[in-house]
A and B are shown apart, each in its own frame.
Chain A
Amino acid sequence: MIERMLLALLFLIGFWGIVGIRNIIKKIFGLTIINNAVVILFILEGSRIGNQVPILEEGIENIVDPVPQALMLTAIVIGVCITALALALAFRLYRHSGTFDIDQIHRQVHDVT
């Protein structure tokens, strides 16, 4: 139970980062944190039925559920792509506006249009 509570805490920290902090780089950190919280949750779920590596050789029993692990590999790859793209966009926004503050960027864009 304690693991799940810690994960919920981690998730909330990430969500607060996305919504509550104005710096866009920190928002991207927040996105990575909630993504990782869910990844760990899946891995934890897979280990409910066993704790051995799911490589089927003789003498190995009590393996973890391999499906969540396979899913999370994909989810991690997608997460990396999203983070890279978000950082690239943050860089372009910084070059145009000279700031990482989302409210200031909003104001600048609003003034232009």
Chain B
Amino acid sequence: MLPEDTVFALVVLPLLGAAIALSSKAFFTGKRKRNLEYLGAFVGLVLPWVVMIQLLPLVLTGQAIEGIIGGWHESVGISFRFDGLAWLVNLLGFTIAGAAWLYSLGPGPHGPHFTAVFLIQTSALAATAMTADLFNLFVCLEVMGIASYILIASSEKQGAFLASFSYLMVSATAMVFFLLGIYGIYRTTGALTYTGIINGLSGLPDHGGVVTYISLSLIVGAVAIRVAVMPLYGWLPDSHALAPHAVSSVLSGVLIKTPLFALSRVLLLVPAGMYAGQLMGYAGAITALVAVIIALSQSDAKRLLAYHTVSQIGYVVAAWGAALYVGTHTLQGSILMAGAFLHALYHAMFKGLLFLSIGTTTDCASQRNVYQLRGAARLLKQAGERIPITTITFVVGALAISAIPPFNGFASKTTLSYGLKDSWQYSMLYAAGIGTMASFIKLSRIYWSKPEQQNRFPVPVPNANKIAQTFLAILCLGTGIFAGPMYRFVVTLFAFGAPNGPAPVLYSTQTLMNTLILITGGTAVFLLASTRIGHNILKIIRERPRDFQGLFVAFSLGVTGLSGWLLFWG
């Protein structure tokens, strides 16, 4: 079979799996129903790996599979492009989705309907990664969104329903603005495929002028809501904190990054894209620092992790935006883009791991408050965990996110910092690193010392949890140790045509000194935050007012700001 024929299997197989899972609910009961559901998950999450491996030699040579779905004429068909970027985003998606689904077999949510929606979401991820058509991007984002609203609500808590509803309203409204942006682009260029849009724009005086800038701002703004970069992050903490643990790990790990890399396809081509990238990058650097301060103030363990997701996505967006600004054909740009992707991939691993480990721990102790839960390591032992797997996997995740060598977070953050050297963003990210360290010292306190209440019966830890967590922990350590080959692999796959330069040096006196400063600074910030004054300041930050309208005000401000920026520079 030709690779051109198999590339759609990455989208179709998860959909087929979803259909199998749903039919198991409709036609069978008992054991046969469960077996058929597992077959669906196998088809949707394991078989795509066969296709991925088959496609790898092709994308490694820098080739891309391009074409129009169904062989229609260019002016009406939907074009797609499967290249190294799409392959890497699929790698990210299928790794984390597989681990998270495995985890869900333990604490839930159970049932064919969950598996079906989960697989539909995975399918939308694969489709988003390879689309090269603006309207198809809209459809993929909507499918992905609808699946995620359902998954967030599947924990059946009132707060989760509210979080899901708020996310749905702001995201669906933003998608209507995205549609308006498509209208603007279609009106000026008469095309929807990326190549058609570029051809159309280059034929126009001033590249389409004001209409193009505003349309582009609407599109970027709508995607920025999904990516949750400041100031458009308001929906994320509640929905990630209140979703089931397995869903939280996929939402944080995969779902917020796929739109970003899909968007880079558009922005790399459009002339004004570099300025949009520049502003997004600035917003990312600010996000990284501000979100980590809010994270430090949180009392709920999962909400703390959710704010760290916002902060870490800030790192990714800062590097991604800077890469778009300097251009990915330059050496610095290719290092930055590779760094952005590596951090997205590694963040998916360690944040997925952290959500699962903290989920297991808080379920076992029936307590989520960071200030009240103590001695969780002992509780887990009482629950029958003879080897302290959950505690170890938490420590692995915490070390990785705090950028301690040899874990993967160190490798990606060092690559990012190398690319951003001597810019103000670098100092923002450095400060954010200190905050991350401090807040994970705070979070790790739940494992220390004795439990406060002895009489509570800990809930046993299912085996599925341990397997999923061990798998991700091994990935975190493995990608950290083999950071050099991973970097070369990603740079080869991206195939920017940048001059071949030396890879950033990971282990030098300077980087190790930085780590030392990070640890010292983090401990100092943690101690400051533990004082009475620090405690009161954090309380004010934690209890700052947040409301539904704020989401829309932020969106309007973001889009207006971006159009102003583009008009000013463009």
Q: Give the A-binding residues of B (Cβ under 8 A).
A: 75-76, 135, 138-139, 142, 146, 149-150, 153, 158-159, 161-162, 164-165, 168-169, 172-173, 176, 179-180, 182-183, 186-187, 192, 300, 547-549, 552
Contact = CB atoms under 8 A, between A and B. Distances in A.
Given A38-B183, A71-B135, A93 B165 contact: yes
B172 A82 contact: yes
Contact of A67 (B76, B149, B150): B76
A64 interface: no
B146 A106 contact: no
Contacts of A67: 75-76, 186, 192
A2 to B, nearest CB: 18
B169 A106 contact: no
Contacts of A75: 138, 179
A108 B75 CA distance: 52
Contacts of B548: 102-103, 106
A26 to B, nearest CB: 12
A86 B168 contact: yes
Contacts of B164: 89
A85 B146 contact: yes
A92 to B, nearest CB: 5
Interface residues of A, number: 38
A47 interface: no
Contacts of B149: 85, 89
Interface in A28-57: 31, 34-35, 38, 41-42, 45
Given A19-B549, A31-B172, A38-B183, A89 B153 contact: yes
Interface in A58-93: 66-68, 70-71, 74-75, 78, 81-82, 85-86, 89-90, 92-93
25 contacts: A18-B173, A18-B552, A19-B549, A19-B552, A34-B173, A38-B179, A42-B183, A45-B186, A67-B76, A68-B186, A71-B135, A75-B138, A81-B146, A82-B168, A85-B149, A85-B168, A86-B165, A89-B153, A89-B161, A90-B165, A93-B161, A93-B165, A103-B548, A112-B158, A112-B159
Contacts of A89: 149, 153, 161, 164-165, 168
A96 B158 contact: yes
B192 to A, nearest CB: 8
A38 B175 CA distance: 11
A62 to B, nearest CB: 18
B372 to A, nearest CB: 14
Given A19-B552, A71-B135, A109 B162 contact: yes
A-B CB proximity, top 8 nearest: A96-B158, A89-B165, A109-B159, A19-B552, A78-B142, A92-B161, A38-B179, A82-B172
A34 B173 CA distance: 8
Contacts of B187: 45
A41 B161 contact: no
Nearest to A22: B548
A113 B186 contact: no
Nearest to B299: A113
A41 B187 CA distance: 11
Contacts of A81: 146
B29 to A, nearest CB: 25
A27 B165 CA distance: 11
Nearest to B178: A38
Contacts of B186: 45, 67-68
A92 B156 CA distance: 9
Contact of B547 (A66, A74, A106, A108): A106
A106 B179 CA distance: 30
Contacts of B176: 31, 34-35, 38
A102 B169 CA distance: 12
A45 B552 contact: no
A102 B165 CA distance: 10
B135 to A, nearest CB: 5
B300 A82 contact: no
A113 B300 contact: yes
B199 to A, nearest CB: 16
Interface string A2-29: 0000000000000100110000100100
